[in-house]
Amino acid sequence: MHERDRLVGHRDVFSREMRQVRTDVVRMGELVSSAIDASVGALSRMDSQAATAVVAQDGRINLAQTELSSLIITTIATQSPVAGDLRFLISLSHVSYELERIGDHAAGVARHTLRLLGSSRDGRLAGNTGLDRLGELASNVLHGVLLALIDMDVEAARRVAAQDDEIDRLYHAYFGRTLERMREEPGWVDVGAHLLFAAKDLERIGDRVTNIAEEVVFLSTGVVEDLNP
């Protein structure tokens, strides 16, 4: 094979692997987004079947992240990318990690839903959990940051990250109300504990989304920017 043909073949392989990394990140994002929506819905409806499905799906998300990390490591080792291409691969590796952790938080919400439903009494006591708005906002920011990542839209990423303040505000208000009820109603302590753990999982999604937004900024500009100082 002539040297020119070898170099062309090398570039073709590299281009194909770069496209595959991007495609796999988008697919992983879709899996995680579905998991969040399903877990929030399961908690709102106290739906054991939907919660069980979210927990089961977490294994798919973990596998997707493992396979994506392996592809990125192989591409870096065999293709020796430089400058922007290396930045792209490292950033998407960070994004895949954050997505996997968000998947864990979705599974956490689902597991606490199942624990509440483990006792029919606890399920009845939970009633309206009061977490609908926090869950809706956590889902919205994840959808938003995935769109910003696909479009490489820096301003959209910054707008999404700014919404983490509202998630934090809702979480702290919910935490205070729930603790107060737990003090007033000792029989509601177990329910309140599970709801607080679920609320914390939802709050952490906002933090993880902010980390992804920072990677979008870095990918687009090459500048490391703290979007939640």
pLDDT of residue 223: 87
Cβ distance 55 to 114 under 8 Å?
yes
Across 127-161, b (16+ Cβ under 10 Å) vs e yields eebbbeebbebbbebbbbbbebbeeebbebbbbbb
What pLDDT digit, counting tens, does each position of 61-104 carry? 999 999 999 999 988 888 787 878 888 899 999 999 999 999 99
Q: What is the pLDDT of residue 80?
A: 80
Write out residues in the chain with pLDDT < 70, as ranges: 1-11, 119-128
Task: Specify the pLDDT at position 6.
Answer: 46
User: CA 86 to CA 113: how far, in whole Å?
Assistant: 41
Which amino acid would we find at residue 91?
S
User: CB of 97 within 8 A of CB of 62?
Assistant: no
